[in-house]
Amino acid sequence: MWSVFIDIYIMNYDGNLFDASTLASVAALTNTRMPKFEDGNVIREGKLEKLKVNNIVTSCTYAKIGKTILLDPDGDEESVMDARLTIANDETYIRAMQKGLSGSFKEQEINDLIEKSFEKSKDLRSIINKLNSD
């Protein structure tokens, strides 16, 4: 059994750490190569195999400032936002949601943001897949 750990070191910060970290982590996992494992033995010679990744999960973070909701807030926007909602999903399912700060989202706003997250995640997965085709 192999274990994979991901440590994220922030070199420069200007907002939306969740989405940047998720994208970098998934890109790293989809580019990971592992030794083969056959008949109970690790085979280190030859070509390494790609780590099997069943789902590519991406996240979209939304900031609510007053009545305005925006995607991918920068540092200045984060400093004045009333509420934050991060939605992580794969192609089919919502995998995680986290709401932060004391402000709130209406039910219809959340439903709209879920739909937008599924749309945006197609673009993000496309970027990850393009990185893997090189």
The pLDDT of residue 46 = 80
pLDDT given for residue 99 in this prediction? 98
Please give the single-letter amino acid code of residue 132.
N
- Say which CATH number the domain at 102 has: 3.30.230.70
In a domain, 7, yes or no: no
Q: What is the pLDDT of residue 43?
A: 86
Domain of 84 in residue numbering reads as 17-133
Residue 117 has pLDDT above 70, yes or no: yes
Q: How many domains, in total, are found in the chain? A: 1
- Assigned domain for 118 exists: yes
Where does the pLDDT of residue 128 fall: very low under 50, low under 70, confident under 90, or very high at 90 and above? Answer: very high
1 has pLDDT over 90: no
The answer to whether position 11 is within a domain reads: no
Chain segment 4-47, per-residue pLDDT in tens: 899 999 999 999 999 999 999 999 999 999 888 888 888 888 88
For the record, the structure tokens of 34 come out as 């592992």
| Mode of pairing for the β-strands spanning 94-100 and 83-89 | antiparallel
**pLDDT tens digit sequence for 58-112:** 999 999 999 999 999 999 999 999 999 999 999 999 999 999 999 999 999 999 9
Please report, for residues 8, 52, 129, the alpha-carbon distance to residue 123 in angstroms, rounded to integers and kept in the order given.
23, 21, 10
